[in-house]
Amino acid sequence: MNIGIIGATGMAGSAFVIEGYQRRHQVTAITRSAGKVTRMFGNEIPSFERQNFELTREDLTQFDVIIVASNFTRASDHVRFAEYLHDQLAGTDAPIVVFIVGSSTLQMPDGSVMADRLGLMRGQAPWIEAAIEQANEYKYLQTVDDFAWMAISPQQAFMPGPATPTYLKSDDALIFNAREESRVTTGTLAKALYDELEAPTHIHGRFTAADKF
């Protein structure tokens, strides 16, 4: 597949680059700084310089898959960028656009969703606003079906690291492994994402993965 990764030099994005390259897909970093891509990956990974909100329909449709792994400075840009990509790609079947939405949108063991309570915690920590806006991004995506989107969520603990040999998977629930931990490494999430992309079953849907021990 021809895969463009937005946010390719970030924690999650770099893992998606490496996993795609190792699986022999054609991976391109869509970036604001080609130099940073070269410093991180050498000359093995081509780059395509473009600001996020300057990407055109022509830019995007050259790829089979677009993975959005950007860390936005403004939390509200999570929703704005989803809306922008929809505007560019409405009426198309490709590319599949993958959005990374936070674990706050997953169901807790009691059936509740943490994102529903975060509004009461606004201003208490920087991550809260991003979590709220990622939840809003996912809600927005659920209202549109005229372009090929897919969402993937990490677990409560999300950290750099290699993939575990096997992983656990769910559509909408937090996953607790044998150690009662809800956690996933970047390597495991990348592995689960490419397994899905190579045999898609979640177009217009979301899934999550967790490390298995």
Q: Which residue has the tokens 């909100």?
A: 53
Cis peptide bond N-terminal to 109, omega within 30? no
Answer for the pair 69, 134: CB distance below 8 angstroms, yes or no: no
Residues 21, 45: Cα–Cα separation, whole Å: 8
Element (H, E) at 139: helix 126-141
Answer for the pair 106, 158: CB distance below 8 angstroms, yes or no: no
pLDDT per position as a tens digit, 149-175:
999 999 989 999 999 999 999 999 999
DSSP 15-82: HHHHHHHHTT-EEEEEES-HHHHHHHHTTSS-EEE--GGG--HHHHTT-SEEEE----SSTTHHHHHH
pLDDT per position as a tens digit, 5-56:
999 999 999 999 999 999 999 999 998 888 889 999 988 999 989 999 999 9
Answer for the pair 12, 70: CB distance below 8 angstroms, yes or no: no
φ and ψ at 37, to 5 degrees?
Answer: -60, -45
> Whole-model pTM?
0.92
